[in-house]
Amino acid sequence: MLVKSWNGDATINDGDNYVSRLLQQGGMDQAPASPQMVDVQGGFPSFAVNEVDARDLVLGIVCKGADMETQRGELVEMFNIRKGETAALVVTDDDGTSRERYVNAAPFRFMAAVQSSKVVYDFIVHLRVDGDQRFRAVTGDDQEWIVTATGDQETINNGGDADAYPKFTIQPKTGKTGGYSYKRWVPIKWLVSTSYQKYPYMIGPENTTGWSMQADGDDLRVMVDGSQVDRWFGAASGVAGGPNSSTTKIWINLDFAPAQTATLEASIGSGDTVTAIDVNEDITGFPSFGILMINSEAFVYTGKNNTDMRFTGVTRAAKGTAADDHAASDTVYWIQRDVWLIYGNASATAQSVDDDYKPILALATSTNTSWVYEEFGEDDGLRTGAWVSQCVEETPTFYTGNHGFKEDPWVEIGIEILNITGSGRWYLYNPCGITNANFTNGEKYREVDTFAAWVASIESKTGTGSWLSIYSISEPSLLDTWESWSRDQALGSDAVYCGIYLYSSFGHDYLEVADCVIALNSTYTPTHAINDEEGNYSLDCTIENTTTGKAISLSYTMALDAELEVDTLAKTIIDKEDELGQMQALTPVGGPRRDWLVLQGGDNVLEYTEAGAVLLIIDVEWVKRYG
């Protein structure tokens, strides 16, 4: 093969100064192999494997100029290993009919005055392949595939003699029959510098009576970071808190990392072109890419510069929001979760949810700032928002029913101490802050020993402090009698723990509570908005190369006319509307494998399968590869 250019410089084979040819091609098919042997104790060595080295390329260069020393200096600079750069080597087939390019090559050895049987090469340059071991075409191929129904096929001819890795850009043009036709974005702001796993959160209350949703809400799905999650309504359809009501409540569980905020360094006008956002504070804690919220406008970014406190690769008016004016020092919030409500599917049945993780709160009456407890947890420990028991001294008994009995779910929380000096507590933790606890339908009991010590209280604790008694629950006035108690108690602005505590010394004592309403600190509880309705496409398809039998499935919620790019070479999935990665959208059919989907040399028949598909345009790009 003749060399066409090196690192974009065609001087390497211009005929006047240099003539260059590829003497050793490298690649898997032409690579030298070394047999590797295994020693056998007491016997002869055995052949194990051929070790293939496909990394080396060898160039022969003839110098045509009159000054060999000058040309040698030019070549030394051209192939200067000290630069440490990866360069492009472009070659031409001997018959001149095709051009190929090997795009990653790094020099590592340089020799002079080498003679073959026919040609005297003034210099031999050894190159080492970086990355893909095969040559590939200088320019790629591109083919449009129009899908009008499930099962549509398209033949792609890969003109190379090795597998090619296609890039699919999928653009739905028409909503599919039986699909989820609408969506709304829900930006949720987490406001505290503490992480929390499985935080019960309510989207709403919202008037859904005018939504294009089934009256019973069966078609409502909540997507978080591209994946469907369990959701629970506050009540039945048409009832306050349920779907098709003016106060619909939708409960989900969310994971949060510590909040990150900053302030704008300079104002942004609604008509400004924005590719970067500068802020006044350190942004080390922000992720390398993500979603920002300034007032009611969403921005996505694909990079950041911590030194300059700058977000880069910015797209404004993202997620269906509108461009707006923003003043210097306006707060920049990190939106940790990409949350969408999708609906508008008349044929959808009720979502199957795992109630093992259903928030333990009374969902109809609870809000994001008021958690109402008629039950307190379950024995499996999976229900979110549950209370926790803690043994403080010796071995108190914790019970979850009335008067010392156990129930599941926990209809009450209680502490029993019998004939020991012991203590224990039930507590709730919320990093957003607990400002008040209203305990009702509580009971207390002392059996016979009037000389035994009794200490009972409502307690609070900050994130770093010790437990503090803020209200003493008096000792029962009668023996062998269940007495009621209740208390509506403020905890203070810094409390993140609330508990009930009982200490007893060699008596038989009980303390329990049946209902509680917890007020959370509204300054720090997460907040959200429910954005306007948009057209939606719930991508749920399989693309199979029927020639090879390999397939990938894709499941992703996207806007009509938006594009999802699936790059099987780079192994990336990008929503082109905001340039964010969506790796969770793809599943290799048949299980994990190194290559998602390849085009073998020659014809490949691709098949698209998706129930209800009406019209999609798929752009298929690939680069031919050669042995």
Q: What is the pLDDT of residue 27?
A: 46
Q: What is the pLDDT of residue 179?
A: 87
Q: Is the dihedral of CA 93, 99, 101, 106 positive or negative?
A: positive
Q: What residues contact residue 624 under an 8 Å CB cut-off, 6+ apart? A: 136, 137, 140, 141, 158, 159, 160, 164
Q: What is the pLDDT of residue 81?
A: 60
Alpha helices for 334-381 (secondary structure H)? none
Confidence of residue 530 (pLDDT cuts 50, 70, 90): very high
| Residue 268 reports pLDDT greater than 90 | yes
CB 289 within 8 A of CB 303: yes
| Residue 52 reports pLDDT greater than 70 | no
Q: What is the pLDDT of residue 123?
A: 81
Amino acid at 126: H
Q: What is the pLDDT of residue 316?
A: 96
Q: What is the pLDDT of residue 362?
A: 98
Q: Tens digits of per-residue pLDDT, 184-228?
A: 999 999 999 999 999 999 999 999 999 999 999 999 999 999 899
Greater pLDDT, 450 or 152: 152
Say how far apart CA 352 and CA 359 lie, in whole Å.
Answer: 16
Reference 513, options 439, 572, 455; nearest CA is 439
| Residue 30 reports pLDDT greater than 60 | no
Q: What is the pLDDT of residue 108?
A: 55
| Residue 563 reports pLDDT greater than 90 | yes
CATH class given for the domain over 2-137: mainly beta
Q: How many C-beta neighbours within 10 Å does residue 398 have?
A: 17
Poorest-confidence range of 42-56, 312-326, 504-518, 528-542? 42-56
Reference 372, options 232, 516, 271, 216; nearest CA is 516
Say how far apart CA 359 and CA 137 lie, in whole Å.
Answer: 56
CB 204 within 8 A of CB 250: yes
Residues 155-180 have a mean pLDDT of 94
Q: What residues contact residue 367 under an 8 Å CB cut-off, 6+ apart? A: 202, 205, 249
Q: What residues contact residue 6 under an 8 Å CB cut-off, 6+ apart? A: 12, 20, 78, 79, 87, 88, 89, 90
| Residue 26 reports pLDDT greater than 60 | no
Q: What is the pLDDT of residue 342?
A: 96
> Per the structure block, which two tokens stand in for 431?
């990093």
> Per the structure block, which two tokens stand in for 322?
């509108």
Q: What is the pLDDT of residue 490?
A: 98
Q: What is the pLDDT of residue 343?
A: 96
Amino acid at 336: Q
Say how far apart CA 384 and CA 408 lie, in whole Å.
Answer: 15
Residues 158-173 have a mean pLDDT of 95
Chain-wide mean pLDDT for the chain? 91
| Residue 445 reports pLDDT greater than 90 | yes
Poorest-confidence range of 79-93, 322-336, 365-379? 79-93
CATH class given for the domain over 370-520: mainly beta
Q: Tens digits of per-residue pLDDT, 115-143?
A: 655 667 788 887 777 777 788 888 899 99
| Residue 54 reports pLDDT greater than 70 | no
Fold of the 141-179+536-626 domain: Jelly Rolls (2.60.120)
Residues 529-549 have a mean pLDDT of 95
pTM exceeds cut of 0.95: no
Share of the chain above pLDDT 90, in %: 71
Pairing assessment for the beta strands 370-373 and 515-520 based on DSSP bridges: antiparallel
Q: What is the pLDDT of residue 28?
A: 43
Detail the DSSP E strand segments found in 116-257. 120-129, 135-137, 141-147, 153-158, 167-174, 182-185, 188-189, 196-206, 221-224, 227-229, 232-233, 248-256
Q: Tokens 């929390």, residue?
A: 196
In degrees, to the nearest 5, what angle opens at C-alpha 5 toward C-alphas 28 and 600? 35
Q: What is the pLDDT of residue 113?
A: 61
Q: What is the pLDDT of residue 149?
A: 97
| Residue 356 reports pLDDT greater than 50 | yes
Q: What is the pLDDT of residue 551?
A: 98
Residues 163-192 have a mean pLDDT of 95
